[in-house]
Structure 1
Amino acid sequence: MMETGQVRDFAVGIEDSAIEDLRRRLAHARLPEKETVEDWDQGIPLAYVEELTAYWRDEYDMRRVGTVLSQWPNHLIAIDGLDIHFLHIRSPEADATPLVMTHGWPGSVLEFADVIGPLTDPVAHGGKAEDAFHLVLPSLPGYGFSGKPEAPGWSVLKIAMAWRALMAALGYERFCAQGGDWGSAVTIAIGALAGENIDGDPCRGIHSNMVWVTPPDEVMANPTEEEQAGLDRIAWYRTKDHGYSTQQSTRPQTLGYALADSPVGQMAWIVEKFHGWSDCGGHPENVYSRDRLLDNVMLYWLTNSAASSARLYWESFNSGEMPQIHMPMGGSIFPKDILTPSRRWAEKTFRNIVYWNRLEQGGHFAAMERAELFVEELRAWQRAATG
């Protein structure tokens, strides 16, 4: 059993000195020369970095991130000695389904800003009372306002155990779990902890918008057109987009020195992924506003969490083969995500798929990019998972 402390209220505060320091750094940023190509093939283009830097320095509201987060109840709870920050938004519907929803990297709880209202109060947003969720949105260890582990051990599996302890501490005897990116890995681990004892487990079902599975032999040998597209996406990721992951899973501390010292570096490191992993037609601002992009960057910058967030890769990569999952599971496949497996592909790991859908739009940060589609997916999965 994991030890849990008392739930404490938390107020998001931004010091004047932090804003002054950030403005000074942005004003004196030293940038490299222009890339030698006319697209994003070598990384985020200089011209766009200059635009974002100028906007961040001169026009962006440096306190926006605090204003956004303070719309909802913020809390801290110590779990095994580490403070975990979380949002807890109860539905007006008393019988709502408790749901712990987990973000990934380079995201944050801010990804869920546009779906909190529709998920917790569906009647006010075109849904039905039975679609309602009580939401628990924790920040991963080392991310945002959660504590930074001071010793190894906070792997995906330990986080899954912590989230179970969190839900119990909040009084939820039964709950569901959802996530994408690292949040998907945590969610899958929550399901794996139940083993085959589904009826006796407090978790009733899991959902992922990035289904974390390895293609089985039969897919590799004879892929369908849909599966070949998924394999091609993995091949692109491995050959053109995987460098960040290798660095964060092997030398997160070394990377941290650069990103902790340079807000422009931190911004570029993050925003590049909102381009490459989104269904944005070539530019992230086709689907995200500059303010929303910078809100997320600000959360990393203000909490100095470049290294601590990257350590999750070091903790969890190559941690062993995934077991079979017997928990009722749902998958929503957005076409521009990193992993876009078929149902056949997923069935080798997930033995009880109750909902599966492949969408025509959207990418990795689905809740932030396509909020309406994301909400409808969770509602459809909930109906299938809970009957």
Structure 2
Amino acid sequence: MNAENSKAKLGSVEPFTVDLSKNVPRMLDLVKNTKLPETSIYSGLGSSAGIDPNVLKQLQKQWITDFDWTSEEEQMNSPNGSYNHFTTNIEGLKIHFIHHRSETAGSIPLLLLHGWPGSFLEVLPLVKPLVEQAKTSNGTDVSFDIIVPSLPGFAFSQAPPPTWTIADTARIFHTLMTDILGYTTFAVNGTDWGSGIAYALYEQYPATIRAAHFSMIPFLPKLPDQLAADNITLTESEQFQAERFAKFAATGTGYFVTHALKPTTIGLALQDNPMGQLAWIAQQILDWSDPRAGTGPSVLTHREILRFTSLYFLTESFLSSIFIYSSNPNGFRPEYSKASTDAPLLYSNFKYNNTFFPPALVRKVGNLVYWKDHELGGHFPGVDNPPGLISDIRELGNHWRWS
């Protein structure tokens, strides 16, 4: 049933406004005073050795001359009411979330979950379209109440203890949805670490989570030879994606190892270093995205990278955000197992994601009822292919049951 018609047990929910402008002059001073080499023998290597120094220079120049945090903040607060920010306290942690109700009766409550190096910004393009009534592929009317929390330790959500797991986050987000907001059933969506939290909810709360949508699952993808050994035949496009993952597995996981094993070292090194954070974050975003990012319908431009990084720096959450890696050494499971739930699972496969799961693997972990391939988009589909992700999420309406 919809929260507006339920007997909601409301906790202490406080309206919240994004207001970080007072910290911006110092951030920009640090950016301006960061000296990058005028010329570099390391330019022109592409992404093979990390971010290209010339790309970082371009981002630095744009940050200084053509990035207006005040206007970005106004958009986040959305004067038209699309993004209603709140905070609440659950298990001693202050949790920030966006809650935007649809005006359509019977809307599906949907929890949207981001990962690293994302934030609530990663899914903002989805919010307004999803609350509006639309049609699914079979003509069913569908709309959503949207809830977008900041993960603990990210942006405006308080940092948890260093042993905090994604199962802990799933538990407090379940409390947010049920005890605080009053929803008796809801759907979940997630990618990156958000997929781990969404899957923990899907797995552990079968009576409450009645549908799930993923663009990544929290299991270790298989290499091409492992897929062949499992007699999984791939299409030409899937072979491309499997090889892309193989390259990522061989050369792209250094950040992951560092976060998992030495989070305080890299976290403290970059905590008060906006250009350092930019280099670290931008490399991952550029590497994991569609090479056509920023070309419509993608909105993943350099401006978006600067928004992501500015939010990390201004909220002083870089260090606390990366502890999710060391706190969850088995966050991406090596063994595939199926959740004990009949709730439908929907999956969107974006060609330029850095991970790849063919349908045969996704069927191993849930009740797969919908699969869609997308030629455009990568690891951050909320900004890299918003229309494709919105269309797929709306397909939840074809499978949703309130109980």
Specify if TM > 0.5.
yes
Equivalent of residue 346 in structure 2, options 317, 324, 330: 330
Q: Equivalents in 1 of 2:284, 2:220: separation in Å?
A: 22
- Tell me the alpha carbon deviations over residues 251-308 of structure 1, each in whole angstroms, 9 at most, x when there is no partner: 1111012211211111111111221111124xx5444233222111111010111111
Conservation of the 8 A alpha-carbon contact between 1:4 and 1:165: no
TM-score when normalising by structure 2: 0.86
Give the structure 1 partner of residue 31 of structure 2.
26
Q: For the Cα contact (< 8 Å) 2:190–2:214, is it kept in 1?
A: yes
> What secondary structure does 1:361 align onto?
strand
Deviation at 1:127, TM superposition (A): 12
The answer for the alignment partner of 1:114 in structure 2 is: 125
- Tell whether 2:66 aligns with 1:59: yes
SS in structure 1 of the partner of residue 89 of structure 2: strand
* The one of 135, 157, 176 aligned to 2:167: 157
Mean Cα deviation higher: 326-335 or 214-223? 214-223
Q: Of residues 5, 17, 22 in structure 2, which corresponds to 1:11?
A: 17
* Closer/same/farther in 2, CA of residues 274 and 218 from structure 1, 3 Å limit: closer
CA contact (8 A) 2:142 2:394 kept: yes
How far apart in 2 are the matches of 1:191 and 1:161?
11
Aligned pair 1:45/2:52, yes or no? yes
How far the C-alpha of 1:218 sits from its partner, in A, is 7.4
State whether residues 329 and 385 of structure 1, in contact with CA within 8 Å, keep that contact through their aligned partners in structure 2. Answer: no
- Which moves more between the two structures, 27-36 or 242-251? 27-36
CA contact (8 A) 1:192 1:323 kept: no
Cα distance, 1:87 vs structure 2: 0.3
- From the superposition, tell whether residues 285 and 38 of structure 1 become closer, same or farther in structure 2 (CA, over 3 Å): farther
Q: For residue 368 of structure 1, what is the aligned residue in structure 2? A: 383
Provide the C-alpha distance between the structure 2 equivalents of 1:8 and 1:53, rounded to a whole number of angstroms: 36
Structure 1 window deviating more from structure 2 (7-16 vs 211-220): it is 211-220
The alignment's C-alpha RMSD in Å is 2.5
Question: Structure 1 CA distance, aligned partners of 2:312 and 2:374?
Answer: 30
3-state SS of paired residue (1:63): helix
Task: State whether residues 294 and 384 of structure 2, in contact with CA within 8 Å, keep that contact through their aligned partners in structure 1.
Answer: no
CA contact under 8 A between 1:208 and 1:332: conserved in structure 2? yes
Give the alignment partner of residue 349 of structure 1, picking from 365, 373, 378.
365
The residue identity in structure 2 corresponding to 1:20 is: P
Query: How much does 1:123 deviate?
Result: 4.9
Instruction: Say if 1:218 and 1:290 are closer, same or farther in 2 by CA, change over 3 A.
Output: closer
**Please, which of 281, 291, 310 is the counterpart of residue 298 of structure 1?**
310
Q: Which amino acid aligns with 2:397?
A: Q
Distance 2:115 2:138 in 1: 27
1:46-125 equivalences in 2 (<5 Å): 46-71=53-78, 72-123=83-134
Residue type of the partner of 2:354?
A: I
Q: Which range moves more in the overlay, 28-37 or 295-304? A: 28-37
Structure 2 residue 247 is the aligned partner of structure 1 residue 255: no
Contact 1:34 1:45 in 2 (8 A): no
Taking structure 1 as reference, are residues 381 and 359 closer, same or farther at Cα in structure 2, changes over 3 Å only?
farther
> Is the Cα–Cα contact under 8 Å of residues 35 and 46 in structure 1 kept in the other structure?
yes
Deviation (angstroms), 1:234: 2.6
Instruction: Note the C-alpha offset of 1:128.
Output: 7.6
Equivalent position to 2:147, from 127, 136, 156: 136
Alignment coverage as a number of residue pairs: 375
1:246 aligns with 2:272: no
Report runs of 4+ in structure 1 exceeding 6 Å deviation.
Answer: 126-129
Instruction: Give distance in 1, aligned partners of 2:197 and 2:251.
Output: 26
Q: Would the alpha carbon gap of residues 64 and 295 (structure 1) be closer, same or farther in structure 2, given more than 3 Å must change? A: farther
Alignment CA distance shift 1:208-1:53 (3 Å): same
- Tell whether the 8 Å contact from 2:138 to 2:398 is kept in structure 1 after alignment: no
**CA offset at residue 85 of structure 1?**
0.4
- Identify unmatched segments of 5+ residues in structure 1: none
Mean CA deviation greater in 259-268 or 211-220: 211-220
What's the counterpart of residue 3 of structure 2?
A: none
Distance 2:372 2:139 in 1: 21
SS in 2 for 1:348: coil
Equivalent residue letter for 1:64:
S
Give the drift of 1:42.
1.1
1:38 CA drift (Å): 3.5
Q: How far is the alpha carbon of 1:382 from its aligned partner? A: 3.1
Query: What is the identity, as a one-letter code, of the residue corresponding to 1:371?
Result: P
CA drift at 1:223: 3.5
- Is 1:358 the counterpart of 2:373? The answer is yes
Confirm or deny: 8 A CA contact 1:100 1:175 kept in the other structure. yes
- Report deviation, 1:15: 4.0
Change beyond 3 A, Cα 1:59–1:85: same
User: How big is the shift at 1:36?
Assistant: 5.3
User: Partners in 2 of 1:386 and 1:182 — Cα distance?
Assistant: 26
- Contact 2:113–2:191 at 8 Å: present in 1 too? yes
2:283 counterpart of 1:277? no
Q: Is the contact made by 1:83 and 1:146 (CA closer than 8 Å) also made in structure 2? A: yes
